[in-house]
Structure 1
Amino acid sequence: MTNTDALIDVAERRGYRVLWHHGGVKAAWQPHRHAITLRLGMTDTATVCSLAHELGHAHYEDPPGHFGAHELRADRFAAKLLINPDDYRIIEHTYGPHPARLAHELGVTVKVLKTWQTLHESKIAL
C-alpha cells in the first residue's frame, strides 16, 4: 500500500512541487507552476488516490482542464501506480470479490479499484 509521503517523494523526484490548499477541488495539476495541489482535510485514501491521479496528468503533460481522454488516462495511471497485481490477487482470495472491501484493504478508492479491474479484465480478454 502506497502512502502520501511516498507519492510526494515520487512527485518531487520528478521535479513537481506538491502544494496544499483549503476548500475547492480535491487536487489539480498546474503545469504552469510544475505543481500538484491537494486539498487539506481529505482522508488518507482520497489524498493518495488524488495525488496519483494528478501524477498521471503531470506524467503525460496534460493541459489544465477536464478532458475525457486525459481523465481516463490519469485514472489508469493512478490505478497501475497504486495497485500491485500480486497484492490484489491475495486480497481478493482472502476477502472475496466485494469492491468496497477490496478497495479498503488495498488503500484505494472504489473508483481506482474498478479502473484497475477494467484494465486487468481487458488484458485477459486480449
Structure 2
Amino acid sequence: MHTQANLLLERNIKVYGMGTILVEPDTAEVQIGVVTQNMEAQIAQQENAMIVQEVIHSLQNIGVVQENIQTIDYSIFPQYDYVNGLQQFKGYQVTIMLAVTTSLNLIGEVIDTAIRNGG
C-alpha cells in the first residue's frame, strides 16, 4: 500500500534550460607599457616609476578611477649586445605593464593620453 508520503517521494521533476542574453559591450581593457633603460638598475627603476606615476596621474585627470588601473607585470632584465662574438653589457631594461579598464567612449583618449605621458 502506498502512503501519501511514499507517493511524494516517488515523483521527480527534472528541468533543463539554457538562456542567452546579447548585449552591446560598454567597457574595454587596454594594456599600457612603460619601458626604461639605463646602465644602473636603480636609476632605470626610478625613471620608470616616475613615468608610470605620470601616466596614472594623466589617466585619472581624464576620468579613469584608480581602481581601474592595475599593475599586471613588472620586470627588470640586463641587456646585452654581441659584437664579434663577444657579449657586451648594455644596461638594464625595466618594464611595467598597466591594465586600464575604461568605457568604450574613452578608449581613444586613454590611449592618446598614455602615449603623450610616456606610455
Same fold (TM over 0.5): no
Higher RCO structure, 1 or 2 (CA under 8 Å, sep 6+): 2
Higher-Rg structure is: 2
Which structure shows the higher strand fraction?
2
* Structure richer in helix, relative to its length: 1
TM-score (norm 1): 0.24
TM-score (norm 2): 0.25
